[in-house]
Amino acid sequence: MALLTVGGERIFSMVSFQCPCNYEQNLAYGLTFLLGPAAVLLVLGFLANMKLWRLYTGCCLKPRKLCPRGNCFGCFRVLLGIFSDACVAPVMWLSVALLNGTFYECAISGMNDKLVVDLFCKNKTLACQKELARVPCSRSKLPSDEQVELLLMFRAQSQILGWSIIIIAAFVSLVGTCYKNCRSEVSYLQLTFWRRYLDKERQHFDEFTAEYANKLAKRNLQSFFERKKPDAMALPDHTAWEEISAYYNFSKKEECYSILQRYVEKGDKGLTPEMRPVLGMANEIEVI
């Protein structure tokens, strides 16, 4: 993801980015290239997050999926985790773009604000205020050494903001990981086993769904073309699919590592509406 972000930022900078270098357009143009891709990456992060769709699918018809038994805090906690996952790519884009400084230079030079102008043109001639927007294009009438000084100030501020975002993101990630592991009800080794089990379950689930979808498609096509009654084929009903699609929380209260295992071991009758583990309490561990 880091390589894709760096590569995308370089392509934007070299191919499509051309700062207009005037007060009317610099700010909007620079912020569009700085924040626009970040917004697109955020949306793509939500679209690619399977946890979001697992939780959201059908919630308009069954609102209790979001807040079962009034546990709205659990819903907020899950949505916060989904949002943090979706923010990874936008944060990386902003960090890389600010470390490069090209977009920030264009945006900040177009801010016709007295505080900004006084910051960069302090102890300089009046021409600095008039030519500030032309500095990123090296088309200003200022002396070359003054242009270089202003560009270095732009670049320094941009890189400070970039590193600030990286430091804050790393610190928040560390605190969140420490808090989550500190609140864990099971040991680290069991957590490791649980994660590996989930990976294998997803892998085999994809294989089984592909296999059974292939069998069902062949059976239906064979029945259609041969004009005969289709053979009986055992498949899960809608209730079973609904049960294993619930959002599950792993805790030491039961020896089940996924909602699928719980459904298989307890059977269809074992999951009453009150027991459906869509969202758990705050001290439980979320299945990712």
For the chain, what are the domain ranges? 13-183, 193-233, 236-268
For every one of its 288 residues, what pLDDT tens digit does the chain have, with 9 covering 90 and above? 667 777 777 777 767 788 888 888 899 999 999 999 899 999 999 999 888 888 888 888 877 776 665 566 767 788 888 899 999 989 999 999 999 888 999 999 888 777 777 788 877 777 887 888 888 887 788 888 888 888 999 999 999 999 999 999 999 999 988 988 898 888 889 888 988 999 999 999 999 999 999 999 999 999 999 998 988 888 888 888 888 887 777 767 777 888 899 889 876 554 444 444 333 333 343 444
Please, are residues 95 and 168 in contact by the beta-carbon 8 Å criterion? Answer: no
* 257 φ, ψ (degrees, to nearest 5): -95, -5
